[in-house]
């Protein structure tokens, strides 16, 4: 019976492999818990030696003088305080030499406890990757993990051991300048990206020389600041908090994030920094988070402005009680915690808990064994000049560019065009391409950044002439440069116009009420179009902008965000088809500011608006379309994709069961390309209202021209669950609509199934 034998052999082989895998996992787990126990012991032994002042010292974080990322407190006594063990961490120290010199002072303290060095390494260190919202448009989790990995490799070689990233705030208001720093409006996509970024920053394990601690911020709900005004209040139901705003933070915890940062905002009247519900009950309680929480810059002291603390004493009491372990820059802990303990307002066990959390990370990073382990000038040089990093930055930059429009298949451009006019205020600048929250390393000149001009020059052949005119500034009314721009446009086969925001128009403290393309840039486009030449517009920005004239009139549009140090090369790759654009918007683009907030996963309401034909007695504005200009998930390709053959493994699913979904995608165009296939679910009838659709899975697939692939998704209870009125996470039996789309609006296939008990 040879068949029987081979079946038996196969079975045995599989069993052996499974046992081996299980054994290895168990062994790793045992080793890890043994390591953790050993670290806990060390932490306890240090804690036993510490005075109360030294313990409180660990809870203070001060800014260095290189760059202020908040209102500075002048303090000329830092070195002295560090020497006395009164500081646990510094932020904004740049370069190994300077970091070394501070660390040297720290280890002169009585217990020789090393400092942590924190930095906003948001999208790269020297090699600058696309701003996070841009990377999110790639929907490419591996690429985002890689970009965080490279950022960590460079930063950790330059002495940094802690990044204040990723920002995982869901953001639905493009007026908020910080949308540039996150992953957009969607909870499912945002959670996947949060997980990938934490993994990227932290690598295999803290303590590897090329790793930094990640920091999930801003806990919580900062992205919902009212009116998109930075530092503003948030007023939100518990259901929305749990269902939409918290999951990316939970994903960061699941990925093993080492630290959290709380937030400037109050949540329903309680400042996040003094919010026990968020920090102790949810984060450290329900989620079992073992790392530590740092306040945002000065946010402990800002509780006085919020009006929830009378003075620094009350602010410190509120923050430490609520679970903020480290005080960034406000000095409220330094000035008040000793007294609070003496007054028996704060039990020393609370202080001990915070200190232990911080010391634990210092041990895990290996700083007690070698306080200088991240300061190696040789490694720094090698990491900062690694050509593989630039290559990765170029690839992810190309993956982040969204093709919004391509009339008459103008793009990709032929490589043998005779004359190209490259016009606009963003063609030649270098640093603009880096966007906000970049890192300007002193002594490194900006020439490693590939300008858009240089990128095009690198790409075109000897027979193509590239003409340049600035045309106008980003802001202001000056039209003097229009004539020159029109003149070169007339000589060209095609015009490429690069316009947008200034890079520092988005970011922290960069909220704007007007998010149109600034100045006379769209007027310049009008004049260029009047020449009759095809005009490709590149829009550079850190947020969704409003640009209806451009959208309706330009021949082609690429939304290039801020793409980082390889911007020029990546843009050229896309313009000439060496990379076929695949990105899709992670945020809805409004038609006008009046539509904000606008997001795809809204409720249906009792009077739903479903078309623009009728505005009376339904939920819409009388003077505005109900649709955004570009919806969540939108983005074109140089090729076309056909969706077919949607199949569900069953039409009735039991709660513990699952439905397998398969769909065939065919590349029906002329170019190889990638498509981001999106799966949305709608719970048709719930005990509370449910969104009209919610992203519950996606797949980015590569298809050669003419090729088809069948992809599979799995629907399980988790994907059908929501928070009911009692805030229980439940999947309710009933009918569900499943749609597969190329965007949240461009739905190609639809099916229904029922969840049964
Ligand atoms: C304030 C910002 O809100 C936070 O995100 C940042 O990490 C800190 N400043 C430190 O720069």
**Which pLDDT band, with edges at 50, 70 and 90, does 625 fall under?**
very high
Q: Angle, nearest 10°, between helix axes 521-529 and 482-491?
A: 40
Least confident among 17-31, 39-53, 174-188: 17-31
Atom nearest to 167 CA in ligand 1: 5
Q: pLDDT class for 614, splitting at 50, 70, 90?
A: confident
Q: What is the pLDDT of residues 83-117, one digit of tens each?
A: 999 999 999 998 899 999 999 999 999 999 999 99
Query: Percentage of the chain with pLDDT > 90?
Result: 91
**What is the structure's pLDDT at 616?**
84
Q: Whose Cα sits closest to atom 1 in ligand 1?
A: 297
Residue 3 pLDDT greater than 50, yes or no: no
Ligand 1 centroid – CA 269 distance (Å): 21
Query: Given its phi and psi angles, is residue 504 left (phi above 0), alpha (psi -120 to 50 degrees) or beta?
Result: alpha
186 lines ligand 1 (CB under 6 A): no
**d(CA 262, ligand 1 centre) in Å:** 10
pLDDT for the residue numbered 15: 72
Pocket test for ligand 1, best of 68, 69, 215 (most atoms within 8 A of CB): 69
State the Cα–Cα distance between residues 105 and 102, nearest whole angstrom: 5
- Give me the pLDDT at residue 25, please: 65
Torsion of CA 410, 415, 417, 418, to 10 degrees: 160
Which atom of ligand 1 is least distant from the CA of 118?
A: 10
| Ligand 1 lined by 501 (C-beta under 6 Å) | no
Predicted confidence (pLDDT) at residue 57 exceeds the cutoff of 50 = yes
Q: Assess whether the C-beta atom of 120 lies below 6 angstroms from ligand 1.
A: yes
Residue 27 pLDDT class (50, 70, 90 cuts): confident
Average pLDDT over residues 548-556: 98
Contact (Cβ atoms closer than 8 angstroms) between residue 111 and residue 144: no
Q: Whose CA is nearest to atom 3 of ligand 1?
A: 296
The CA 150 to ligand 1 mean position distance, Å, reads 21
How far is the C-alpha of 132 from the C-alpha of 146, rounded, in Å?
A: 13
The tens digit of pLDDT for each residue in 253-292 reads 999 999 999 999 999 999 999 999 999 999 999 999 999 9
Whether 302 contacts 273, CB under 8 Å: yes
Q: For residue range 661-698, list pLDDT tens digits in order.
A: 999 999 999 999 999 999 999 999 999 999 999 999 99
Is the beta carbon of 419 within 6 A of some atom in ligand 1?
A: no
The pLDDT of residue 397 is above 50: yes
Question: Among the atoms of ligand 1, which is closest to the Cα of residue 165?
Answer: 7
Q: Residues of the chain with pLDDT > 70: what percent?
A: 98
Instruction: Look at residue 2 in the predicted model and tell me its pLDDT.
Output: 45
Q: Which pLDDT belongs to residue 1?
A: 41
Q: Would the CB of 217 count as within 6 Å of ligand 1? A: yes
Our answer on whether the CB atom of 508 is closer than 6 Å to any ligand 1 atom is: yes
CB 733 within 8 A of CB 756: yes
Give which of 142, 239, 250, 232 is closest to 196, Cα–Cα. 142
Annotated catalytic residues are 296
Distance 370 CA to ligand 1 centre (A): 28
* CA pair distance 252, 216, nearest whole angstrom: 6
Q: Residue 9 has what pLDDT? A: 66
Q: Over the stretch 703-718, which tens digit does the pLDDT of each residue have? A: 999 999 999 999 999 9
Mean pLDDT along residues 388-402:
98
Peptide bond before 412: cis, by omega within 30 degrees of 0? yes
* DSSP 8-state secondary structure symbol assigned to residue 401: -
278 C-alpha vs ligand 1 centroid, how far in Å? 19
pTM over 0.85: yes
Cβ atoms within 10 Å, residue 77: 9
Q: What is the pLDDT of residue 93?
A: 94
* Distance of alpha carbon 162 from alpha carbon 365, whole angstroms: 10
Pairing, β 292-294 against β 270-271:
unpaired
């Amino acid at each position: 019976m040879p068949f029987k034998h081979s079946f038996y052999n196969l079975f045995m082989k599989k069993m052996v492999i499974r046992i081996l895998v299980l054994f290895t996992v168990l062994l790793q787990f045992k080793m890890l818990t043994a390591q953790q126990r050993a670290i806990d012991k060390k932490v306890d032994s240090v804690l036993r030696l510490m005075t109360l002042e030294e313990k409180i010292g660990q809870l203070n974080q001060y800014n260095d003088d290189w760059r202020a990322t908040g209102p500075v407190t002048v303090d000329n006594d830092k070195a002295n305080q560090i020497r006395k063990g009164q500081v646990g961490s510094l932020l904004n120290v740049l370069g190994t030499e300077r970091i070394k010199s501070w660390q040297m002072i720290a280890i002169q303290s009585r217990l020789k406890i090393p400092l942590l060095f924190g930095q906003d390494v948001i999208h790269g260190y020297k090699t600058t990757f696309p701003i996070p919202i841009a990377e999110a448009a790639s929907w490419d989790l591996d690429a985002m993990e890689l970009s965080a990995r490279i950022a960590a490799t460079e930063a950790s070689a330059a002495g940094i051991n802690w990044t204040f990233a990723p920002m995982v705030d869901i953001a639905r208001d493009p007026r908020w300048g910080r949308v540039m720093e996150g992953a957009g409006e969607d909870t499912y996509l945002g959670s996947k990206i949060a997980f990938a970024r934490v993994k990227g920053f932290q690598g295999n394990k803290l303590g590897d020389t090329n790793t930094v601690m990640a920091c999930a911020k801003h806990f919580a709900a900062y992205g919902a600041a009212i009116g998109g005004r930075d530092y503003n209040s948030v007023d939100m139901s518990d259901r929305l908090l749990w269902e939409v705003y918290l999951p990316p933070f939970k994903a960061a915890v699941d990925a093993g994030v080492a630290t959290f940062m709380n937030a400037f905002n109050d949540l329903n009247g309680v400042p996040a920094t003094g919010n026990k519900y968020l920090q102790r009950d949810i984060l450290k309680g329900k989620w079992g988070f073992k790392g530590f929480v740092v306040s945002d810059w000065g946010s402990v002291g800002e509780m006085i402005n919020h009006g929830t603390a009378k003075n620094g004493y009350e602010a410190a009491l509120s923050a430490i009680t609520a679970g903020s372990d480290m005080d960034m820059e406000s000095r409220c802990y330094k000035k008040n915690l000793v007294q609070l303990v003496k007054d028996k307002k704060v039990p020393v066990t609370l202080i001990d808990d915070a200190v232990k959390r911080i010391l634990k990370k210092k041990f895990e990073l290996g700083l007690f064994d070698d306080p200088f382990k991240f300061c190696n000038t040789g490694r720094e040089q090698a990491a900062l000049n690694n050509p593989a990093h630039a290559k990765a930055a170029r690839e992810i930059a190309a993956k982040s560019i969204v093709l919004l429009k391509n009339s008459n298949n103008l793009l990709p451009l032929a490589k043998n065009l005779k004359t190209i006019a490259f016009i606009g205020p963003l063609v030649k600048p270098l640093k603009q391409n880096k966007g906000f929250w970049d890192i300007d390393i002193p002594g490194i000149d900006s020439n490693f950044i590939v300008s858009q001009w240089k990128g095009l020059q690198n790409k075109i052949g000897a027979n193509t002439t590239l003409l340049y005119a600035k045309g106008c500034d980003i802001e202001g009314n000056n039209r003097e440069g229009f004539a020159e721009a029109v003149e070169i446009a007339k000589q060209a086969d095609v015009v490429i116009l690069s316009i947008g925001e200034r890079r520092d128009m988005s970011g922290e403290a960069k909220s704007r009420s007007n998010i149109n393309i600034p100045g006379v840039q769209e007027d310049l486009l009008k004049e260029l179009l009047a020449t009759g030449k095809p005009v490709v517009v590149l829009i550079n920005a850190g947020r969704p902008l409003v640009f209806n004239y451009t959208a309706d009139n330009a021949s082609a549009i690429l939304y290039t965000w801020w793409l980082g140090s390889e911007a020029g090369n990546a843009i050229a790759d896309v313009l000439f088809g060496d990379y076929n654009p695949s990105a899709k918007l992670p945020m809805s683009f409004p038609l006008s500011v009046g539509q904000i907030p606008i997001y795809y996963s809204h409720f249906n309401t009792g009077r739903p608006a479903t078309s623009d034909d009728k505005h009376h007695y339904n939920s819409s504005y009388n003077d505005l379309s109900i649709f955004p200009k570009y919806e969540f998930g939108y983005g074109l390709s140089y090729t076309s994709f056909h969706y077919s053959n949607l199949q569900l493994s069953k039409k009735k699913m039991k709660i513990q069961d699952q439905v397998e979904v398969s769909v065939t995608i065919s590349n029906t165009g002329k170019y190889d390309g990638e498509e981001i296939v999106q799966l949305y679910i709608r719970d048709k009838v719930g005990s509370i209202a449910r969104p009209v659709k919610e992203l519950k899975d996606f797949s980015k697939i590569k298809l050669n021209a003419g090729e088809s692939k069948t992809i599979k998704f799995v629907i399980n209870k988790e994907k059908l669950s929501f928070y009911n009125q009692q805030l229980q996470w439940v999947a309710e039996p009933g009918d569900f609509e499943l749609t597969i789309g190329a965007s949240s609006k461009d739905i190609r296939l639809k099916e229904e199934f029922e969840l049964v008990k």
